[in-house]
C-alpha cells in the first residue's frame, strides 16, 4: 500500500509514473495514431480520437472519458479489444457548453466517420453524455448499446447545478482543485495509486476552457429520460469500494435500467478501467458478445466462431 503524493493541482508531484512509462502505454502511443477531426463550423472545436481495429466493422465501441480524462485513459481497453478483433475508438471532446450542442457535435462526428450505429462505453461524465446522446437520437437511433462505468443519470447528485454557469469564469487551478476533491486519498494499493497519478497527469494537460466546459456539462441541471432509451441494451459497471458516486446515485441507476446487466468490481475506485483493466475488459467483451454474428457486431466476422454466430442469430430471431 502507498499513499498518493498529491498536494494540489498546480504543485502535484508524481513520485512513480508506472503507467506513463509502462511498455503497454508506450506501445499504444507508438502504434495507434491520434487523429484530430473538425465537424463543426467553428474550427476551434476539435475532436481528438484513436481509432484501432478492423475498419470494415461498422458498429464499433466508442469510449467516452470522465471530466479529468483524455482519449489515452482507455489504452488498456484499446490494446486488449483490438487484439481480440474488435474495432475500438477512444475520443476526447472539444469545448461544448451545452448538452444539446455536444449531442449535435457527436452526431456530426459519427456522420463524418460514416457510422450509423455504435456501442458506447462511458465513464462518469462520459456515461452521462452517452445516455443523453442515446436519448437525443432516440427517434433515429444511433446507439445500439451502452456500458456505463461509475456513471450517473441526474446531475443533481453533485449539488452544483446553481454554480454550473459560473465555471467558465474560474481559473484553471481552481477548476483542477474541484476535480481533485473527488480523487481518493490515503493508503491505496499500488495499481489504484498509479491510476490516480496517471489521471492527475492527464488532468494537467487540459486547459481552462476544456475543464470548465466539462464541469458545466457535468453539473448543469439535467437528467436522463429512460423511456426514450428503453430498447438500448445496457451493462452497468460499478465498484464496491470508494468512488465519487454515492450509494444513492448507484441505486438510482439500477432503478432507471432495471433490465441492465450488472457488473460489479470489488475494488477499482474511480478508474477501474486503468487499475482493474483485465476485469473491465472481460465485462466489455461479455457485453459485446451478444451482438456477434449480427450487423451490430463490434468485431470482425472472421473472428467470430460459427457457434457464436448461430447463437446470436437465434437470440435475434427470439427478439
**What pLDDT, in 10s, does the model give residues 82-123?**
999 999 999 999 999 999 999 999 999 999 999 999 999 999
Lowest mean pLDDT of 22-31, 209-218, 297-306, name the range: 297-306
* Cell numbers at 65, concatenated: 472519458
**What pLDDT, in 10s, does the model give residues 143-176?**
999 999 999 999 988 877 778 889 999 999 999 9
**What pLDDT, in 10s, does the model give residues 53-93?**
999 999 999 999 999 999 999 999 999 999 999 999 999 99
Q: What are phi and psi of 142, to 5 degrees?
A: -115, -10
**CA 113 – CA 93 distance, rounded (Å):** 15
pTM for this model (two decimals): 0.89
- List the chain domain ranges: 23-317
For residue 311, the model assigns a pLDDT of: 56
The residues, ordered by sequence, that sit 6+ positions from 287 with a Cβ below 8 Å of its Cβ are 119, 145, 147, 233, 235, 261, 263
Task: Considering the domain delimited by 23-317, tell me its CATH architecture.
Answer: 3-Layer(aba) Sandwich (3.40)
What percent of the chain has a predicted confidence (pLDDT) above 70? 89
Amino acid at each position: 500500500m502507498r499513499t498518493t503524493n498529491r498536494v494540489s493541482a498546480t504543485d502535484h508531484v508524481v513520485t512513480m509514473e508506472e503507467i506513463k512509462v509502462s511498455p503497454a502505454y508506450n506501445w499504444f502511443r507508438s502504434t495507434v495514431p491520434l487523429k484530430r477531426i473538425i465537424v463543426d463550423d467553428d474550427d476551434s472545436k476539435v475532436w481528438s480520437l484513436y481509432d484501432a481495429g478492423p475498419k470494415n466493422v461498422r458498429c464499433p465501441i466508442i469510449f467516452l472519458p470522465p471530466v479529468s480524462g483524455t482519449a489515452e485513459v482507455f489504452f488498456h481497453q484499446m490494446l486488449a479489444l483490438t487484439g481480440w478483433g474488435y474495432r475500438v475508438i477512444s475520443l476526447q471532446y472539444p469545448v461544448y457548453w451545452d448538452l444539446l450542442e455536444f449531442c449535435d457535435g457527436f452526431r456530426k462526428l459519427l456522420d463524418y466517420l460514416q457510422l450509423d450505429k455504435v456501442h458506447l462505453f462511458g465513464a462518469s461524465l462520459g456515461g452521462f453524455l452517452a445516455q443523453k446522446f442515446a436519448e437525443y437520437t432516440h427517434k433515429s437511433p444511433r446507439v445500439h448499446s451502452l456500458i456505463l462505468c461509475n456513471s450517473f443519470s441526474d446531475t443533481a447528485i453533485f449539488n452544483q447545478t446553481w454554480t454550473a454557469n459560473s465555471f467558465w469564469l474560474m481559473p484553471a487551478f481552481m477548476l483542477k482543485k474541484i476535480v481533485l476533491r473527488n480523487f481518493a486519498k490515503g493508503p491505496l494499493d499500488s495499481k489504484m495509486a498509479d491510476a490516480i497519478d496517471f489521471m492527475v497527469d492527464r488532468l494537467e494537460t487540459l486547459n481552462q476552457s476544456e475543464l470548465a466546459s466539462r464541469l458545466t456539462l457535468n453539473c448543469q441541471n439535467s437528467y436522463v429520460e429512460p423511456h426514450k432509451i428503453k430498447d438500448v441494451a445496457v451493462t452497468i459497471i460499478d465498484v464496491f469500494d470508494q468512488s465519487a458516486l454515492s450509494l444513492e446515485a448507484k441505486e438510482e441507476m439500477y432503478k432507471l435500467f432495471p433490465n441492465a446487466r450488472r457488473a460489479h468490481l470489488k475494488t477499482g475506485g474511480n478508474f477501474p478501467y486503468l487499475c482493474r483493466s483485465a476485469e473491465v475488459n472481460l465485462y466489455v467483451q461479455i457485453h459485446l458478445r451478444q451482438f456477434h454474428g449480427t450487423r451490430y457486431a463490434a468485431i470482425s466476422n472472421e473472428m467470430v466462431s460459427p457457434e457464436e454466430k448461430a447463437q446470436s442469430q437465434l437470440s435475434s430471431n427470439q427478439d
